[in-house]
Amino acid sequence: MRGFAAIYAREIRAYFTSPIAYVAATVFVVVVGLFFITLLRNYLSFDAYLREQMLSMGQEATPADVHQYLLRRFMGTLGAVTLFVLPFLTMGSFAEEHRAGTMELLLTSPVSQRSVVLGKFMAASTFFVLLLVLSFAIVGSLFLYGDPHAPSVFVGYLGVWLQGESFLVVGMFISSLTRSQVVAGVGGLGAALLLWLAGLIGDPSSMAGRWLNELSLVTHFEDFTKGVFDTKHLVYYVCFIVFGLFLTMRSLESLKYR
């Protein structure tokens, strides 16, 4: 892992000095905030409707379940927004190095390819976690005014995080294949979208359809949003990420022969 720390530090620095990251962060926070407000409004009107119904039936009015009717939807939305934002964080990771010729510097220095790939991945992950922290400032307001089930929120975030890391890996891999940031960005988004929705392609009653569904990123995401933690989903995401990192390293190695 020689050189990992240096590469990680440089990447972090690059994130905080480039406009892309700030634009991505701003868009992320604003969009997430807007969705939250919409979802909150929906929840409130649904809650009011429910109370009215209960009272009219002569029952005691209880509030609608916050997790079921608000947080679960919010987590789903958060996952979808990361899909559209994260590819722009990773699009430059290798494409820009190819274009600027700095790849030659990295690959002729005594650092391992693993350090290069992991250094970049960890830096992107760090920035992504920061985005999640920002988004929590929005959801966290619920804890001030209500009493959401904290472990469920945590599990939801775990799901968003794992799924987001998968998007980052996909984006990095695509970026290692091209020297154009635009191609890497659009390609990364397309690839992530495809993997996300793979389940929709096949006929769910057929064998192939079920396989595609199991491969799809969103299938494994759903349980997390419900606040249900299942190790099989954890294993899926970890495998996905490790395999993606492995492919990226192979892709760098193959540069030598191109």
Binding site for another protein (CB under 8 A): 2-3, 5-7, 9-10, 13-14, 17-18, 100-111, 256-257
Least gap, CB of 258 to another protein (angstroms):
9
The residue whose two tokens read 């700030």 is: 22
Can you state the percent helix, strand and coil of the chain, rounding each to 5?
85, 0, 15
Nearer to another protein, 10 or 250 (CB): 10
Least gap, CB of 167 to another protein (angstroms):
24
CA of 123: how far to CAs of 12, 40, 111, 203, in Å?
5, 33, 17, 39
Nearer to another protein, 26 or 102 (CB): 102
Least gap, CB of 140 to another protein (angstroms):
34
Q: CA–CA separation, 220 vs 229, rounded Å?
A: 10
Instruction: Give me 171's structure tokens.
Output: 């984006």
Least gap, CB of 254 to another protein (angstroms):
11
Nearer to another protein, 51 or 99 (CB): 99
Nearer to another protein, 7 or 168 (CB): 7
DSSP 179: S
Least gap, CB of 116 to another protein (angstroms):
9
DSSP 61: P
Nearer to another protein, 52 or 253 (CB): 253
For the chain, give the longest Cα–Cα distance.
77
Nearer to another protein, 51 or 114 (CB): 114
Least gap, CB of 191 to another protein (angstroms):
26
On the 0-12 / 13-18 / 19+ scale of CB atoms within 10 A, 101 is: exposed
- Spatial contact of 39 and 73, defined as CB atoms under 8 Å apart: yes
Task: Return the SS3 of 245.
Answer: helix
